Amino acid sequence: MTTEHHEMTGRERVACAIARQGPDRVPVVALMIHHAIRLAGLRYDQCARDPALLVQAHLAAWKAYGYDGFHVTCDNWVLPSALGCPIQFFPDQPPTAAARILADTKDLARLAKVHTGTEGRLGFKVEATRLAAQAVGDRCHLKTCFDSGPFSLATALRGIEQLMLDCLDDPPFVLDLLEICTDAAIRFARACGQAGCHALTFGDSTAGLLNRALYEQFAFPYERRVIAALGDLGLPVFLHICGDTSHILDLMAATGADGLEVDYQHDIGYCRRRTGDAACLQGNIAPSAVMLAGTSRQVRQACLAAIAQSDRRGGFLLSAGCEIPRDTPAENLKAMVQAGRDSAQAWA
């Protein structure tokens, strides 16, 4: 008598890894925007305005490389624009703020209100999530990025340097601003989570510039509130802080995030030792030095080294440490995907 072998779908594989339920191999999840847009032959300003074109780009890259999951994401100015920041668009680079709405004032009444989580460009991301979920079904794991954590959103509205000074000179103003940012992030995240994705993620990367004490005061409590507020959706929530986060890795894990997207400055073994079993780790191949500038052999070696430090039960998603650069060679992405597939043989 023979037993039929069931190969997991991308969605199943990633879900098993997050839950530590023994995936059949290490899943590969792509954090990719610009490379996908270029591969699809589209312009960035088109994809940043039209959810159908953004999804077209993501689907083109998924079909070309065959990874297990991807981020439904476009840029980091979706939430700031909904709160009132004017945004400028470009044909071949991400949009950015034309001005910081709070650059010269502490008048929080200037900020627009987020009520439904679908206002303005928020609705663009929610619709992109719905279209992507409709297109891939259960074949691929979709993780929608609801843009920014509260501290990063505050720096987008005020300016990084100015908000850093405010943390020292006017903490009450910063805390009031963070309350508004936290509420907006939660409303947006809930709308995204109800649109059909399989997980949520958000970036709070400028929070990584804070020292540990300031992070504990101005970032950690608000990240934790965002994650807790999404618990009833039944979706894993990931926290992304790129750069060297060795001074706050344990705190990132203590936010209650189901997963942490970690950058390349420390290997997966180090990150696991610092976070314990608190969260699934996603990463952390160097985006520029390895994925962009390395050979396919170097990519494979780096991926296998990361896989060797992972647990067969799961708790690890193979990815780059941050966004895969636009001009990354196709053979390097294929090498990453193949390394994930080959882990099945290593585990056999």
> For the residues of 329-343, what is the DSSP string, one character each?
-HHHHHHHHHHHHHH
Residue 227 lies in a domain: yes
Residue 44 lies in a domain: yes
Model confidence at 6, pLDDT cuts 50, 70, 90, reads confident
Q: Look at residue 248 and tell me whether its pLDDT is greater than 80.
A: yes
Q: Look at residue 311 and tell me whether its pLDDT is greater than 90.
A: no
pTM of the model: 0.96
Model confidence at 1, pLDDT cuts 50, 70, 90, reads very low
Q: Look at residue 253 and tell me whether its pLDDT is greater than 90.
A: yes
Rounded CA-CA distance 21/77 in Å is 36
Q: Look at residue 146 and tell me whether its pLDDT is greater than 70.
A: yes
> What's the pLDDT at 40?
98
Residue 6 lies in a domain: no
Residue 5 lies in a domain: no
Mean pLDDT, all residues of the chain: 96
**pLDDT tens per residue, range 22-36:** 999 999 999 999 999
Q: Which domain holds residue 262?
A: 14-347
CATH number at residue 134: 3.20.20.210
Rounded CA-CA distance 188/197 in Å is 13
Residue 295 lies in a domain: yes
Q: Look at residue 347 and tell me whether its pLDDT is greater than 80.
A: no
Are 174 and 154 in contact by the 8 Å Cβ rule? The answer is yes
Q: Look at residue 4 and tell me whether its pLDDT is greater than 60.
A: no
Residue 191 lies in a domain: yes
Q: Look at residue 37 and tell me whether its pLDDT is greater than 80.
A: yes
Domains held by the chain: number = 1
Q: Look at residue 137 and tell me whether its pLDDT is greater than 70.
A: yes
Rounded CA-CA distance 181/190 in Å is 14
Rounded CA-CA distance 148/127 in Å is 18
Residue 114 lies in a domain: yes
Average pLDDT over residues 252-271: 97
